[in-house]
Amino acid sequence: MEWNQQTPILFSGTSHPDLSLQIASQLNVSLGKVHLEQFPDGEISCQILENVRGRSVFVVQSIAQTLDGSPNDHLMELLILVDALKRASARRIVAIIPYFGYSRQDRKDKPRVPITARLVANLLETAGVDRVLTMDLHADQLQGFFDIPLDNLYARPVLSLALQKWGIEDDVVVVAPDIGGIRLARAFANHFGGHIAIVDKKRTGAETVEVSTVIGDVKDKTVLLTDDICSTAGTLAAAANVCTQFGAKRVIAAITHGLLVGKALEKISNSSIEFILLSDSVPREPGFHHEKIRIISAAGLFAEAVRCILQDTSISSLFDLENWREKEKKQLSNH
């Protein structure tokens, strides 16, 4: 793509500047200049330092816990950034939200509780967002919470290609760690040409689960545990251990959003998981290293989606593994 004065500007919030820089690099553009700071009383101050009048603007912000702030801080910062861009006469504002915080609060599962995911959708629209670009929403029905276009990308092709490079391809059983993960497990199984199994679990507390059995055959198989979110790692560790008890020869995991809060890393270390592959939708602290965690970047996926939006072409091609193989071959030949 040839970039000129009419091309878009990419801005970054403070939640994930590294991913923002990678996306900008993939697009061969520089990040837009913005001044963000907090007043002594904790309020957020924002000033856009670029002329955005009549421009298409993309803002990258994960709504997740980081060393620099809470999901609430990053959500509020995103809303303030969008308002500033709207008042500066940006033509179109696209919010790139790699991890959509509050997505698990998508229904009334108890009396007198909010549907916070819908509230966040309303806030984004009211602030002035024209389109949302995100990845692996926790529930598909969240797309219906928006009255503006929403593109929900899937990390599956990127994760699957990385797994195949590491030799995870033959004799694989894809295991859903709970009933809600069957659809994702089936999608991975279609990529690898394997079967699926399901772990029967019961949550016994905010950070604890009770696993009773595995529905399906994992004996002497390589088990691939798949899930969209790993928060405290209780479900993941319990599922891995029960698969080992049922005879799995090795257990690995592919997760889109690695929140890894509380004692998650300790649980992972003590589990039978060989390694976990995570996307970088949620930032890690500088110098992060864990012997069982490997991280793959989703920057190329988001950059391709941005190109599709700008060129008014289909995003569905980004869901295909073969398409990603071809893109990687082209990148290697260019180098």
Q: Is the dihedral of CA 321, 273, 225, 228 positive or negative?
A: negative
Q: CATH number of the domain at 156-296, out of 3.10.450.40, 3.40.50.2020, 1.10.1760.20, 3.40.50.300?
A: 3.40.50.2020
Element (H, E) at 198: strand 195-203
Rounded to whole angstroms, the Cα distance separating 274 from 240 reads 9
Buried/exposed 198-227: b ≥16 CB within 10 Å, e otherwise: bbebeeeeebebebeebebebeebbbbbbb
pLDDT, one tens digit per residue, over 103-156 is 999 999 899 999 999 999 999 999 999 999 999 999 888 999 999 999 999 999
Question: How much is the pLDDT for 203?
Answer: 64
CATH fold of the domain at 9-154+298-334? Rossmann fold (3.40.50)
Is this structure's pTM higher than 0.85? yes
Whether the predicted pLDDT of 3 surpasses 50: no
Please list the residues that pair with 223 across neighbouring strands: 173, 251
CB 66 within 8 A of CB 74: yes
Give 251-279 as a DSSP string.
EEEEEEEE---TTHHHHHHTSSEEEEEEE
Domain segments of the chain: what residues?
A: 9-154+298-334, 156-296
Does 9-154+298-334 match 156-296 in CATH topology? yes
Name the 3-class secondary structure at 111: coil
Q: Which residues are catalytic?
A: 201
